[in-house]
Amino acid sequence: MATVVFLHAHPDDECLITGGTMARLAAEGHRVVLVTATDGALGECPDGLLADGETLAERRAQEVRASAAALGVAEHRFLGYGDSGMVGTEGNAAPGAFCNVDVEEAASRLARWLEEEAADALVAYDDHGTYGHPDHVQVHHVGLRAADLAATPAVYQVTVDRDRMVRLVKQAAELGLTWDDDEDAPTEEMMATIGLPASEITTVVDVVAAAPAKLASMRCHHTQVGDLRFFLGLPVEVFTQLFGQEWYVRVRAPEATPADHLV
């Protein structure tokens, strides 16, 4: 059995784009380790959800632990950096923000964990962080550098099949599924910047059987309901169609690795 480490930017990122793969790996007996780079302190949160004196970072730490348990994750760690916020916000300039940390320092910290785990594979993000968020882009740089420092045998960049997502958004509209706020609805311009074209994707993992675990993990992130409500409200068959595959770009892997899986 293998050990696969997933590096994600914020609590909740793990469920959306790799939750099915993580749950499938765990169900198959592999050791799955989740590393979250930041505390997610600059995310949004519905009014009145936090208890008196409770911070968003504290609540999101609880949520990601619950999500990890739903996915069968063996261990979760925080890499220990601050949330950078969305592109163009004040958080981007904070000295402790993940997007501003020295890549070599952060990669060395992660590499030590990869070595401790004797990790067989590391998953980070594609070169634009799937949609350009500063912390996601930094995950790409830190993750790939850490894997090189630790000589991790297999390295993958998680992404999204842009062509498929465009088709599914159109299908959702045809089915009459709408966003709560029209401003949140994906536009053609937005979809053109998400993920990668299908022609650049090397590895497609079938996670249909893991869709219930993925949905359960998404439901753990109560503070992020604004981002997830549309997906959580989908009919089960539509949810499974939308999230029944997860996509990766293989950077390197042993020759015997199946073409449709990570290890």
> In this predicted model, what pLDDT tens digit does every residue of 39-91 receive, in sequence order?
999 998 999 999 999 999 999 999 999 999 999 999 999 999 999 999 999 99
0.85 cut: is pTM over it?
yes
Do residues 243 and 214 make contact, with C-beta atoms less than 8 angstroms apart?
yes
pLDDT score at 189: 64
DSSP conformation class of 57: H
Give the contacts of 61 (CB within 8 A, at least 6 positions apart): 11, 39, 78
> Can you tell me which residue has the tokens 């015997």?
256
- Measured in whole angstroms, the distance separating CA 166 from the mean position of its chain's CA atoms is 19
- Measured in whole angstroms, the distance separating CA 191 from the mean position of its chain's CA atoms is 18
Pick the closest to residue 201 from 169, 156, 238 (CA basis): 156
**Alpha-carbon distance 248 to 140, whole Å?**
13
pLDDT at 23 over 60: yes
Q: Give the lowest-confidence range in 14-28, 156-170, 211-225.
A: 156-170
* 14 CB-side CA count, 13 A: 38
The two structure tokens encoding residue 257: 């690795």
Q: Does domain 3-252 have CATH number 3.40.50.10320?
A: yes
Give the contacts of 195 (CB within 8 A, at least 6 positions apart): 126, 130, 131, 159, 160, 161, 162, 165, 247
Angle at CA of residue 22, ends 236 and 230, nearest 5°: 35
pLDDT score at 187: 61
Reported as a single tens digit per residue, the pLDDT across 175-231 is: 665 555 555 556 656 667 789 999 999 999 999 999 999 999 999 999 997 777 777
Mean pLDDT of 94-114: 97
Judging by beta carbons within 10 Å of its beta carbon (0-12, 13-18, 19+), is residue 158 exposed, middle or buried?
buried
